[in-house]
Every structure is written in structure tokens, then in C-alpha cells.
Structure 1
């Protein structure tokens, strides 16, 4: 066949697939099969999947997560549940804005176009989303509720504005939350992050640290262990003590010794407060080390040390937190020219600024105890500080009640690694912060009846990041009267982090057109918590943590009843290629659209699901969508070859095939509940092959598909291909119809278009997606047969499905009649037989 003929054939096949897909998309939409009923007629199940960014067409990661989630949605509907499985777009943020800037387009236009592109691709992919719930977060009708929630948090003291040293991405020209810094780099563009002092808006997530930790007990066994571990480590609760060291000489200014108001912490302004998990090592303290980029270091610095300190601080700010905490990094520091009094010995202890101390943990100060800490010992050796006393104070065990009774310089305390959520962004494409700054009134909330504060149309304006929000230049938008006094005011020109959108979007799905609040509380009571969330583990300390926080805030506001938003979480693995993450620079990228064009949606979906357990990575180079395509064609041929009538009683058909069919349904139910979707595919392959052999009247076994790798490798389950007790074989066998119908139902979870074609070929309607889950006959689950191994000279030559009560003579006769055994003997005489009914026959020729 010529290349041009091959191309014509491929083009014709693609056109035929497209026609089939369009047809069934229309049927699903016309019948409203995937729209949640929400009428109380069935138990509700809410399934939430990863919220896609519309910065381009769907990628391979979308293909995987959508295919996996759709298995559950379709299965639950067949089991009779009322399923809510919605779709929307996280359409604000840096990816879309940066792409629009590169193209010279408006982010609004660029984003809208990409949403349309992705929506078309999702429909093509056959995902059973409820499209009546769709929305995108850059719609003012969505982000007005971001602003409403923000204002409620301002009222509760959970949103505040403060000066802070923040993570700054020079490339994107905006601040980043700690959760958006990965190994010292911006998670979006990979640029090294630097520190910068800015006045920013924060959410007080630290007020919920204990609840976020303690409520994980509700999630044990339902969320992945690694996600819970990552969140525990990120929150980083440590039990210890605050130890006070009195400053020798001039005291720091009134207010704060550790970056937190003194009144809140209870520390005198003449003290330096240190948090430690080992108060028993206080006798060994020979120096204090302060974070160079903390306010305390600046206040403690003596005039004669100012120049050296500021030069050192600038060097430290160029390093990432990961670099600063590296164990093999040289221990640098400068003396601050300040001293404190040792609370036990009374000795004068010097205070240093050292880069291995971070301002975000504890009080930003650590005790230098060289006798008990290798890091402190290394610092002391480099800078000539004494080693100190190695004795301990065991009575100061923070875990013991009353351990600090009568100790004036220490008190039990808890510290957290978690910092407040920094949500200000100096970018255009985000939710405007609904605050007006007034010279007379200060920070004034925009009244609820003036929401939403809509982004101005800056089409044609230069949105390139320059360190301040492009909104600052939109004077007609910025300059407004103060809502309180009517005097001149200026809108806040920062926009909200897009994690604000994704911290509660799953609740808006419940009431996408509701105008009385962010969502209808009654809708939340009916549907929440979501039964399962499906998304990547990279969201563990970002979206998933923020969603848990926001759920608790909204619960405190009386809007929801549930403590947690997601009852269970499934993390899908990453789709890689040739052992590495896909990258244009590596030249190993694979486009989902290209795979859909080449093989069709069903083959790509089946390949994704069959590749392995959901949580494992998928290496596309090792997979075979072409093999999946061949299997799907084989399944469709099976359905088309059935000649028995719809509704024919299968009881008169092949007993062996019926046992395979019913055992398959039973096995698949357990596999689906255990999220072993790849093995589900293997079981369907076995069922199709068993039905094919029965239809063809064939004997002989085949290897069992195990789930994973290449779909064309799947064969029938060993021994399930015929045998004693079969009453009828061939296309008219009603057991073959039963098997084909069950195969179509099971296959619809993974390859919906092929399954619909099978269902139609079998004379069923209107859609396999509306079919009920197959019922299992318990009598057919009873093991009345087993697999006998047939050997010739010790080598396996066949496997036979035989009754459990088969006699030795009967088993030997069946083995001798096997064509595979006859070929293996090749006319040689059998000199000895070993028969162990019902499991083994060995024919010995030498």
C-alpha cells in the first residue's frame, strides 16, 4: 500500500471517528444524561476534578485526570446515584496573563478564546461533565463573591494589610506566597525568587493552624498519606518554650521583639524572645543568632556595626531559603554589636545575624548551643564563639505539665512553620481588592451593594510587569470618592492571588447562578462534602490546603456545615515521556490533540487508564494507543456479530461464559471501589476475549491480561473459554449477548463512544450511559470449575477449565484430546502419566 493510500485511509478513519463522536455528544446532550437531578430521588454524590487553566488547549495531564474522574462519575450514575460532576475554568492568573502579553492580546480575549478551545476538546474527549454548572473565575459574577468573602474576612480580622519581607519574582513582577516558591524558584516561570519589603494583604491562616492539623484525623485513610504528611510538615507545629534573654545596654524600641506586637506575645520590650524545642539545653547557650532580614536584627544592630550589617543583609536577600538552610553551606554571619544576659548563668552572650536563621519560623531568633547542635558548633568554630556548658535541664521538658512553674525566663509555647497567606499580586489579571484608601478614613471597604469592583478594560495598554500593578496607571478607575466620607480616595491597585478563586470554587458549582451570596447554603448542605476530589499531588500545600482553610472560615461564618470540603482525595500521577517530564526544550513533548487525531478519544482514554494505578506516573513512550484502538475494534466486532435477540434469556447459553461474565462484574465492582481502574480494563479485555471464543466455538486457553502496558496483549482469563456444561455456542448463544452487553456497560466507563456503538449494535437504546449496572447472579459466582494444568515432560502445554469433581480418568482423557498436547507430543509415545485431579496432568515421554 502506498503512503498516499495510507494517508487517505487514516483520514477516512479519523473522519468516521469524528462523526461517531459528534453523534453521541448530541445524544447525551439531548437526553440530559449528565445533568445532576438534585430532586431527592437518589443519594447525591459530588465529584470535583482539577480546575483547568485556560492558557492553551488541553494537555496530557488534563487527559489523564479527566479520564480517571470520568470512570467514577459514569460508574456512580449506573449504580443509581445522583451525580454532580461539573466543569469550570480558573481563568485569572499569571499563565493566561503572561501568554496574552507575549501575544500582544488582551488577557480577557485570550482567555475567552482558550476556554472555547478547551470546552470543545473536553466535549470531544467524551467527559460526562454537567455543563449546566460551568463558569469561569474571570467573570465578574464569580469574582464579586471573592470580594464579598474578602470583606467578611476583613470584618472578622482574618484579612489585614501589613508591611512584610516577601518573596518577589523578578520575571513575573509580583509577590509570591511561600506555597508558590519551589526550591527557591517561582513555580510558574522558574525564576530565582528574591526578598523584598512591601505592604501587602494577608489572610490570617495561622489562626487556623491547629484546626487544620487536628482535623486531619477526619481524613486519615481517605486522603493520600503523602498529602497529609506534606500538610503537617508545611504547617510545622512544634511544642517547646519561649526563653527570654534580657538585652544588655540600650533596649530595642517599644513594640516588637520578634516581629509580633509585644502585647500579643507577652514579652517585655527589653527582652529578646527565643522559641526552642529544647529548653533543657539552655545552659549551653553561648550566642544568639538572629535572622538578618528581620526587624529585630535591624533594631538590635549597634551604630558601629550598621554598615557591615546592611552589606551582609543585602547578600542574604539574594539567597533563597533553601540555599540558606543547606547543611553544606558555609556558616556566615556578622556580629550586631548587641549582647543579652544568659537567664541561667548571668553571662553576657553576644548576638549575631546569621543567614541560616529564617524570619518565618519561631521568633526569627535561635539559641546558639554548640555543645548540642552540629550547625551551631560549625558556626561557633568559624566565628570563634565558645562551645559552652554541655549540661542539661531535664525538668524543662515542654511535654511535662508544670515543667516551667517558677521559671521566670521561660514559658511553654507552640510555634508553627506556617505563615499567613499573602494574597496581594501586582498584576492586572486578577480579582480587584475591594478597598479604597482614604487620607482621612484609612482603608475603607467597598460597600456590598457596589460589588463587584470590575476590572477596567485595559485593552491595548502595556501590561508588562514593572513592580507595581498596571492598574495604578488607570487613573479613571483608581481615583474614586471615599465610600465613608466622600472625600478623594484611591482604589487598591493590587489584585488577589488566584488561589483565592480555587479555595472555594467547588462551592460555586452548587449554585452557579445564585445572586444572594457566593452560594446557596441549602445547596451546600445537600451536596457537601464532595465525595472525592481528583487532582495532582502538586496541589497538596497550595490549593488543597487553602480549600481546607476557606471551608473552615465559611463554616465560622455560618455558610457551610461541614468541617472539611473533600471527603476523599485521589492524586493522579504525571504523564511523562521517555522517563522525563514533557518539555519543549527536551524535545519530548506530546500534544493531546495530536494523539486524539491519530487514535481517537476512546483509544487515548483507554491507554491512560490501562497504563497503571491512578497514582503512578505514566510514561507515554511505553504505551500503545494503537493497541488500544485494535482492542476497541475487536470489542465492537463482538457486539456486531451477536445474532440473538435483545432480551433473550441467557440461562440457556454457555454456563462457562456466564460464570466469566458474572465474576467479571463482581470483580469490577471491587476494583472500582478500590480505584484499580487499570485492572478493570484488564477484566473487560478478558471478558471480550472469552465471549469471542464462545461465539466462534473455539477451544483452548490464552494468557490472562494483568492490567498495565499494551492493551493488545490482553487475552482471556485462563480456563474461561469453554468446557463441560456448555449447552450452546455461536453467535446465537444468549450468553454471548449477555457478555457483550456487560462488556459495553463496563467499557462505557473508559471508552464511551465505542461502548455506545456496541450498545446500538446490540439493539439497545437510547444510550449505554443510561443503562443500569448489571446484576450479579450469586449462583454463578460459586466455583464449580477450576483450571487444570496440562504438562508434557514437565512443560506447560495447555490449561483446561474442568469440574471440581473431575476424576483422574476423565481429566486424563480431556488432556489427551487437547490439540495443544497433540502438537507437543508430535507422535511420541507416552511412557508414564502423572494425574492429580482436578489440578494437574503430566505426560512423560522419556
Structure 2
């Protein structure tokens, strides 16, 4: 055994050993209790970063720990490998997206193996490979047949330079995030998934997710945005139409002083037809339509509007109120129109003050005075109706019911549940994605391709040069096909699917990754699902998790699995920062995992990133912290080496008092580490406890010339077993140095003994007038009277009590005796 710990001498050896011996291969076995741990799979950009290292290290500790606890552990890895970066590389460098992607996968896979991660690589999936996206297309077909996939005209963010639809998040200050050219709104025929059909279930079932962070559940709840309110309409005489609005505060209807329409509302063109400032209105409308929804609805964005010149009639008061167009109303949210009741809505208040519109109080609160000078929080709360005709004196809750009933009776309104959630737009005008398995026939119309034809493969004869239409449309071999119904000529759909589709079911494919007859076998998937512990960044708290939940519910309804939710437990790890900022190339503060591994070893990288902060908090990178972790592993190496010879003898014998104390510390640490890993993911405190054990082992070594060989054996073996999930390479090496022949990662987790934790003696502090004067080590069974006598007999205590009167003796069992004198 080398005297010095050198990570580079051992890590590659054990990585090869694990691979050759299939140490982490998992088999379907119903006789064993399963545990499915999963980290979010990465996009193969080419290199791992420290955020990846933290994510994977957390999952690896859980997987190794659960395996040692006797579970049948599934711990797979794969690649979220479709997406725009690969296509951009093709455009910029002339590299085929497939080549670019697969090369990056191989590089990142080598980096993951260098970290010593316990993945079952036989289950590896890549979403860009045909054996995966065939089943993505198959799922699309099932959604289509169930009425959950449909195509319709929709206004989208369109970048003419990149020739693709952009998500709202990809439009920054009206420009494309990628090329910085202006984005326009464009009507396109797009594919959608009807996620709104599942809105209620997605919301209600959040209550069943007991092992999810509350903030994630709240984020999803707000995104789904369920509200109960009233939908009713205002008559607009100038165009002889009724404009519908939705509100949760119909009790404020008598305070409506204007109606606002989205710039895209279908009535807008007719409303401004005869306006004297029509050209100005049209320019305003165009500008508003080309803003992203996020920019338009941001609380920081200024509210902008223009009067159309037309008026609407308040159905309750009969008053005429002006109809405006404004940026903060979206056509695809609610009805695309809202009522403005500025006295009781802060956004409406700001708009009314800006454009000098009337503000009329219609809800009052006792002992509260209403003023137009400053917005107060109580203005938007419930109260008693005033200035509201026959409804004066009713509470807001009562008025919402009675006014809704009155509108319903007149046939112009009804109570309604509304959701913020919109249907999921999945069309992308890009090449590197899953082709949508639909063809168009002049005779038969829109048709699904047959299941026998799947997968609809991505062609390789496409043109990527700037200015081309969707690359798939440039491939004649792809575009032209035959109708599956009549056999006549047809053309293929040239949109590909949003890559969120790929990541919405990959965890199911892992359960049966090599199945070529189905996406997975129902019996096998039912054994493994749900994922017991899912680990990933908070940035995926809404869309990815929501879409995955939606997919699982649909797949459940199709009768393919029993699970109704994908992830039983969720852990959102914090970011890795440097000097308080997120690591990024632009800031020049990136730390390369390869650099750390080459210098200190993978075990040091893992140990530091797990010890430096609680897993759900941000971690600030520290070079000194890395060095400290490396030094600690060196201490472990040396103490095991020092105890090794005696440990191999393993002869039972009487323990000395100090050895009893050392064994008690060992079992205390086993208990602490087990509880931290079992319940709370408190990896940092678990590692801290192991460090305390190592210190105790050194302290005993420095004090005693020898150590009981059975205790030395127990100490070294238990120490390595406790460290094994955190630092797998070094513990494997030392395990074999102890004379063991099997992998440490196939061993059972150590179990603490209650009897070993029993303390026979305690140290009691002796005080005089509250000041410590001496200490005694006594039996835990000593009586109060016996301890008081010993305290009074202490020579150090007698120095401060001699010649004085003892007023009283304060006794705290097992801790102190305080003699009060004067």
C-alpha cells in the first residue's frame, strides 16, 4: 500500500473494474424492494460543468446508499439530445447535427465515467436515436387518437432569420435571443397538445406529492392558475357585437370605467375602422403584437393603451364606457378582453391614473377611508358594496353570487372556472427534432402514418443554408410520400416536436430500454415506477415537471401504466457559484471538472461539492475547500493504513475504557450518517460526522500504543463503508487493502448497536457560585447525594467554600453541581 494517497493511481483502475464486472447492472426482480433514483438527463453540449457534477454526485450517493441498504436500485443515464444547438452547429460549421451530437455524447459519457458514477449503462437512451424517437412518435399517435393532439392557426413569435417559432422566453426586448434580429408575430398552423384537459388533475394531485418542495408545488399551482369567476359580455353598439370578459371580481362591476381588448382581438379592426386616428392606432397595434407576452405582462413593463373611439354598455349599470386596446391583455388568456375596475385592481388603477380615466369606489371597509391619492392594499380585498345600485350593503361574496345569477338570468353571463394554463404548442420549424408522424392528402386530408411505418426518419439530404425554409421541406425524399388511407400522393408534415416532448417520458423508457416491440413492458414499468427520487435544478420546476406529469397521466389513462404521477420525491439542488455569481464563460469564472479531477481526483471533487453546502442551497466554489477535502482523504488513507495490520488480525478481546469510548463514537457516527442519508439528504452533516470519527481515531492512535484488533477491524471497515457512497474509488482501494475480495459497493450498510451507544460514565462540571472550579467523571447511576458529597470533597471546590456558608446546592443530573456560598 502506498504511504501517500494519489487519486490518479487508483481511479481509472476501479472504473474499469466496475465496468468489467457489471457492478451497477440492474435486473428486474420482483422478489426485491426496488428504489428508482434519477438525475435529470443532460443536453450533450460537449462538456460537463460543475452544476452537472453536483447533480450527479447527489444522485450517486443516494443510489449507492440504497443499494447497500438492500434495495434493487435503478440508476440510469441518457441524453436529451435533440435541439437547436446541434442544428446551429450544422449551419455554422457544416457538421451534421447527428455527428455533432453523438461526438458530444461520447465525450460527456467519458467525463461521467471519470466521476465514478454508478450508472447502469446498459439502459442508456438518447432521444435523437431512432429506437427512442420511434416511440415518441407512437405516443403522439396515441394522443392524437385520444383527441389530445390537434392543429390550429395561432399567433406565434417568428424569427425570419432563424426561420422558426420562438417561445416567449426566447424573445428579449422584441428580438431573437439567438440572432438578435427583430421578432414578429405570425399566424401559423401549429400543433398543440391539449394539456388543459388535465388542468384540474394536475392541480389537485399536487396535494399527493408529499416529498416535493413546497415552493415547486406553489410554482406549478400558480402556473396552472385555477380561478373561479364569472364570464359575461358587454354590448358594443358600434359594431353590433358583444365582447366577453372573465373576472373573479364581478362584485366590482358597478365600478367599471373602461373595457380593454388585446391588440390581437378579432373585433379590433372593426372597432377602429372609422377612428380619425386609425393610422396611429394601427401602428400601435402592430408594435404591441410584436412584443413578447412576457414583456407585455411584466409587472415592471409600463402599461400602454389607446382608445378605439368606440364604447361598450355596462350590463348592470347601463353606463357607456370607452373601449381601449392595451399591451397587458393577451388574446389567448381568458377571453382576450378585460373589464377595468380601477378602484379595486392595482393594474387598472395605474392604467386609469395614466390615462385620466374615472375611478369609482364600489367596495368599502369599516374604519377604512378610501382616497384617490394613493393605492392601498385593502382596495383589492372584499368588503361591503357601495355605489352599486340594488346590491348596496351586500358583502363581496354575496354580490358575486347574486350578480352572476342576474347575468345568467338575462342570458349574458355565467359562473366559470378558468385556468391560466394554455394548451402546449409543440410545433418547431427545425430539423433536429422528432418528425411529427402526419401526412396531408388532397383527397383524405390530415392522416396519421401507420404504426408499421414508424419511425418516420429524419432525412440526411436537407439544406441548412441561411434563407432556406424549414430544412425538412428541402428534402424531396422526405416530403413526398403516399397517403396511408387511399395510397395516393401525399406530403409529410415538416414541423418537428418541441424537445420537452422527449424529456416527458424518458424515465419510463429507462425501465425497459431495449424493448423493440413497445415503449416499455407494462409489468416491468409498474415494478419500477414511480421514480422514488428525482434530482435536478429549480429552473425545471414548472415546464419539464408539468409536462412529465401530464404525459404520465395520459399514459395512465391509456392503460399502459398504473402510476398516476412520475416522481414520488423531488430534490432541487442549488447552483454552483464562484465569488457569488453563477459560473459562466462570459464571466470567466468557470471551473472545469476535468481540471479538478486531473489535479485532485474525482473523489475529492465529489467530496467537496457534497460537503461545502446543504444540497438544496447554492454552493460557492472554494479552491481552499477543494484542497481541504483532498487533505481529509489523505488523513483517511493514512489512518486506515495505520490500523490495517492490527485490523487483519481481528482477534476479540477486552476493550479498555478509551476503546469503549472510541467504539461508542463509531456507533454514534453510524447512526448519524444513516439518519442523514435516509431522511434528509444532509450530506454535509453526514460527512462532518465521518470527519469527527476520523479525528477520534487519530486521537486514540496518538494516545495509545496499541488497539484491540477486533475494534481496529470494525473501525476501518465501518469507516470505509460510511464513506463509500461519497468517495467510491478510494474506499474500494482501501477495502481491498484490508484483504477483502468483493466490491465494497456490493456490501451491506453498517448498522449501529444501541448497546454500544450506552454511556456508563459522564463528566460532571463542579461550580461554586456559578463559576467552574472542577470536573468529575462519575457513573451515570450515581445518586444526587453521592455526587453532592464528591463535589464537596473536591480540593478545588474546597478552596472556594472553606470558611463560607453553603446556602444551597443546585443539581442538574448528568451535567453539573453548583454550590452557592456566601
Give the TM-score taking structure 2 as reference length: 0.86
User: In 2, are the aligned partners of 1:302 and 1:338 still within 8 Å (CA)?
Assistant: no
The answer to whether the aligner puts 1:661 opposite 2:663 as a matched pair is no
Deviation at 1:320, TM superposition (A): 3.4
- 1:463-487 CA-to-partner distances (Å, cap 9, x unmatched) read 55x5842111112211222222333
After the TM superposition, which of the residue ranges 599-608 and 333-342 deviates more from structure 2? Answer: 333-342
Deviation at 1:55, TM superposition (A): 0.9
User: In 2, are the aligned partners of 1:243 and 1:279 still within 8 Å (CA)?
Assistant: no
Matched residue, 2:79? 89
SS at match of 1:371: helix
Structure 1 segment 413-452 matched on structure 2, within 5 A = 413-452=416-455
User: In 2, are the aligned partners of 1:302 and 1:337 still within 8 Å (CA)?
Assistant: no
Corresponding residue to 1:767 among 743, 748, 766: 743
Summarize the Cα distance change of 1:514–1:179 in structure 2 as closer, same or farther, 3 Å threshold.
farther
Deviation at 1:30, TM superposition (A): 3.2
Summarize the Cα distance change of 1:227–1:176 in structure 2 as closer, same or farther, 3 Å threshold.
farther
SS at match of 1:288: strand
CA distance in 2, matches of 1:94, 1:799: 71
User: In 2, are the aligned partners of 1:644 and 1:733 still within 8 Å (CA)?
Assistant: yes
User: In 2, are the aligned partners of 1:446 and 1:483 still within 8 Å (CA)?
Assistant: yes
User: In 1, are the aligned partners of 2:671 and 2:751 still within 8 Å (CA)?
Assistant: no
- 1:359-388 CA-to-partner distances (Å, cap 9, x unmatched) read 232111110123333432443344454335
CA distance in 1, matches of 2:767, 2:91: 70
CA distance in 1, matches of 2:732, 2:87: 40
Matched residue, 2:252? 281
CA distance in 1, matches of 2:181, 2:590: 22
The 4+ residue runs of structure 1 with deviation greater than 6 A are 179-193, 398-403, 789-802, 808-816, 829-837
SS at match of 1:493: coil
After the TM superposition, which of the residue ranges 659-668 and 605-614 deviates more from structure 2? Answer: 659-668
Matched residue, 2:559? 558
Matched residue, 1:678? 684
Deviation at 1:200, TM superposition (A): 1.1
Matched residue, 2:138? 148
- 1:187-229 CA-to-partner distances (Å, cap 9, x unmatched) read 889998654332211111111111110001101x310111101
Summarize the Cα distance change of 1:814–1:179 in structure 2 as closer, same or farther, 3 Å threshold.
farther
User: In 2, are the aligned partners of 1:47 and 1:533 still within 8 Å (CA)?
Assistant: yes
Deviation at 1:17, TM superposition (A): 2.9
Matched residue, 1:724? none
SS at match of 1:294: coil
SS at match of 2:634: helix
Matched residue, 1:369? 341
- 1:682-737 CA-to-partner distances (Å, cap 9, x unmatched) read 11111122122223335xxxxxxxxxxxxxxxxxxxxxxxxxxxxxx625532132
SS at match of 1:295: coil
CA distance in 2, matches of 1:177, 1:802: 71
The answer to whether the aligner puts 1:777 opposite 2:734 as a matched pair is no
CA distance in 1, matches of 2:694, 2:719: 7
Structure 1 segment 626-665 matched on structure 2, within 5 A = 626-642=627-643, 643-646=645-648, 648=650, 652-653=654-655, 654-665=659-670
Summarize the Cα distance change of 1:404–1:831 in structure 2 as closer, same or farther, 3 Å threshold.
closer
CA distance in 1, matches of 2:35, 2:794: 51
User: In 2, are the aligned partners of 1:200 and 1:424 still within 8 Å (CA)?
Assistant: yes
Matched residue, 1:617? 618
SS at match of 1:405: helix
Corresponding residue to 1:230 among 190, 203, 219: 219
CA distance in 2, matches of 1:445, 1:435: 5
User: In 1, are the aligned partners of 2:653 and 2:708 still within 8 Å (CA)?
Assistant: no
User: In 1, are the aligned partners of 2:157 and 2:292 still within 8 Å (CA)?
Assistant: no
Structure having greater relative contact order (Cα 8 Å, sep ≥ 6): 2
Summarize the Cα distance change of 1:498–1:85 in structure 2 as closer, same or farther, 3 Å threshold.
same
Deviation at 1:131, TM superposition (A): 1.1
Deviation at 1:832, TM superposition (A): 7.9
User: In 1, are the aligned partners of 2:251 and 2:403 still within 8 Å (CA)?
Assistant: no
SS at match of 1:350: strand
User: In 1, are the aligned partners of 2:652 and 2:708 still within 8 Å (CA)?
Assistant: no
User: In 2, are the aligned partners of 1:360 and 1:417 still within 8 Å (CA)?
Assistant: no
Matched residue, 1:573? 574
The answer to whether the aligner puts 1:352 opposite 2:324 as a matched pair is yes
CA distance in 1, matches of 2:496, 2:596: 38
Matched residue, 2:380? none
- 1:406-455 CA-to-partner distances (Å, cap 9, x unmatched) read 43232111111111111111111111111112233222111110010110
Summarize the Cα distance change of 1:765–1:500 in structure 2 as closer, same or farther, 3 Å threshold.
same
SS at match of 1:605: helix
User: In 1, are the aligned partners of 2:650 and 2:712 still within 8 Å (CA)?
Assistant: no
Matched residue, 1:606? 607
The answer to whether the aligner puts 1:28 opposite 2:28 as a matched pair is no
CA distance in 2, matches of 1:297, 1:647: 90
CA distance in 1, matches of 2:358, 2:468: 45
Over aligned residue pairs, what C-alpha RMSD do you find? 3.3
User: In 1, are the aligned partners of 2:648 and 2:709 still within 8 Å (CA)?
Assistant: no
Summarize the Cα distance change of 1:657–1:277 in structure 2 as closer, same or farther, 3 Å threshold.
same
Summarize the Cα distance change of 1:379–1:179 in structure 2 as closer, same or farther, 3 Å threshold.
closer
After the TM superposition, which of the residue ranges 394-403 and 756-765 deviates more from structure 2? Answer: 394-403
CA distance in 1, matches of 2:801, 2:396: 81
Deviation at 1:109, TM superposition (A): 0.7
CA distance in 1, matches of 2:746, 2:791: 45
What residue ranges of structure 2 are gaps of 5+ in the alignment?
A: 363-386, 803-808
Summarize the Cα distance change of 1:563–1:144 in structure 2 as closer, same or farther, 3 Å threshold.
same
The answer to whether the aligner puts 1:50 opposite 2:40 as a matched pair is yes
User: In 1, are the aligned partners of 2:251 and 2:400 still within 8 Å (CA)?
Assistant: no
Matched residue, 2:384? none
Summarize the Cα distance change of 1:812–1:388 in structure 2 as closer, same or farther, 3 Å threshold.
closer
Deviation at 1:249, TM superposition (A): 3.5
Matched residue, 1:737? 713
Structure 1 segment 440-589 matched on structure 2, within 5 A = 440-458=443-461, 461-462=463-464, 464=466, 466=467, 468-589=469-590
After the TM superposition, which of the residue ranges 784-793 and 320-329 deviates more from structure 2? Answer: 784-793
SS at match of 2:259: strand
The answer to whether the aligner puts 1:310 opposite 2:310 as a matched pair is no
User: In 2, are the aligned partners of 1:697 and 1:730 still within 8 Å (CA)?
Assistant: no
After the TM superposition, which of the residue ranges 758-767 and 293-302 deviates more from structure 2? Answer: 293-302
- 1:728-753 CA-to-partner distances (Å, cap 9, x unmatched) read x6255321321221110010110001
CA distance in 1, matches of 2:162, 2:790: 78
After the TM superposition, which of the residue ranges 31-40 and 209-218 deviates more from structure 2? Answer: 31-40
Summarize the Cα distance change of 1:328–1:735 in structure 2 as closer, same or farther, 3 Å threshold.
closer
SS at match of 1:80: coil
Deviation at 1:347, TM superposition (A): 2.7
Deviation at 1:33, TM superposition (A): 2.4
Matched residue, 1:694? 700
CA distance in 1, matches of 2:648, 2:792: 40
The answer to whether the aligner puts 1:405 opposite 2:381 as a matched pair is no
CA distance in 1, matches of 2:524, 2:793: 67
User: In 2, are the aligned partners of 1:433 and 1:495 still within 8 Å (CA)?
Assistant: yes
Deviation at 1:327, TM superposition (A): 4.8
SS at match of 2:404: coil
Matched residue, 1:323? 295
SS at match of 2:405: coil
User: In 2, are the aligned partners of 1:574 and 1:616 still within 8 Å (CA)?
Assistant: yes
- 1:139-184 CA-to-partner distances (Å, cap 9, x unmatched) read 0110011111111111111111111122345775432445767998
Summarize the Cα distance change of 1:331–1:634 in structure 2 as closer, same or farther, 3 Å threshold.
closer
Give the TM-score taking structure 1 as reference length: 0.84
Summarize the Cα distance change of 1:798–1:545 in structure 2 as closer, same or farther, 3 Å threshold.
farther
Matched residue, 1:819? none
